[in-house]
Copies of this chain bind each other. A is one copy, B any other.
Amino acid sequence: MDIATLIGIVAGFTVMTIAISISPGATIKGFIDYPSIMCVLGGAAASVLASSPLRQFFSVFRVARKAFFNQQADIPAIIEQIVSLAETARRDGLLALEGRLEEVDNPFIVLGVQMAVDGTRPEVIEEILRNEMESVATRHRNGKLIVDQFAKYGPAFGMIGTLIGLIIMLGNMKDPDAIGPGMAVALITTLYGSIIANVVCLPLADKLAFISKHELLGMEIILRGIMGIQSGDNPRIIEQRLNTFVPPKHRVTSRKAA
């Protein structure tokens, strides 16, 4: 589990908290203004809601959890498994793969091997696996989109809040001494908007993009492996070909069959 995202966001808030704490005359409490929080978070949520179908809007929590607690696909293990299946297929024929399917966890490998065992034509296997990948990519894009929209509408409502605060303050300006605190309150929504975007949502969106790319890379490797198995390629060639998808130091060199 990669907890960099969780650590990073907590660290971001810690940095700001320390920066405030060590400033003379400043208190954390002075930076917490509930109406401002409601204006920025509520407003941003409203615009995100208006931007997407209802069902997708509520996926934001599931998507965020994924960024925090995602278990990344173990690509070297995938390659190892594909090569091992290729060895079985070469030794005992494609049909022998059926017996090994229950030891396979990855549903994408199961789908591909099952079609190969069933004698589905290679073009059809490739088409179906590619569609499946495209479908996963679309789901990932939609999930990331919600986070991107919070990163867009958070600062927007931050600015709207500041404008509202300034207009109120400037319109009622009788006591010049009140200008400073008035502006301070007005600026808080801009600060909130900037935090939502730069401390939370933009990093989250970048991380989701990375996770998606990694998962799709794993699927691409599986697809190429299945196609190789289906056409009866030498397991060593399949291994070499799949290894080119990963950096040299993570490459698998199974010499079991050597």
Which residues of A are in contact with B by a Cβ distance under 8 Å?
A: 2-9, 11-12, 14-16, 18-20, 22-23, 25-26, 30-31, 35, 38-39, 42-43, 45-54, 56-57, 72, 124, 127-128, 131-132, 134-135, 139, 149, 152-153, 156-157, 159-161, 163-173, 177, 180-181, 183-184, 187-188, 190-191, 194-195, 197-199, 202-204, 206-207, 210, 237, 240-241, 244-247
Q: Are B172 and A187 in contact (CB under 8 A)?
A: no
Chain B residues with CB under 8 A of A172: 25-26, 180
Q: Are A52 and B181 in contact (CB under 8 A)?
A: no
Q: Are A191 and B168 in contact (CB under 8 A)?
A: no
Chain B residues with CB under 8 A of A131: 241, 244-245
Chain B residues with CB under 8 A of A177: 173
Q: Are B159 and A194 in contact (CB under 8 A)?
A: yes
Complex partner residue of A7 from B3, B49, B173, B244, CB under 8 angstroms: B49
Min CB gap A246→B, angstroms: 7
Interface of A is mostly: helix
8 sampled A-B residue pairs with Cβ under 8 A: A3-B54, A6-B50, A15-B43, A19-B35, A30-B171, A31-B167, A46-B199, A47-B203
CA distance A57 to B224 in the complex (A): 30
Extra contacts, 8 of them, besides A2-B54, A50-B199 (Cβ < 8 A), are A4-B52, A8-B49, A23-B168, A131-B241, A135-B244, A135-B245, A149-B206, A167-B188
Q: Are B12 and A39 in contact (CB under 8 A)?
A: no
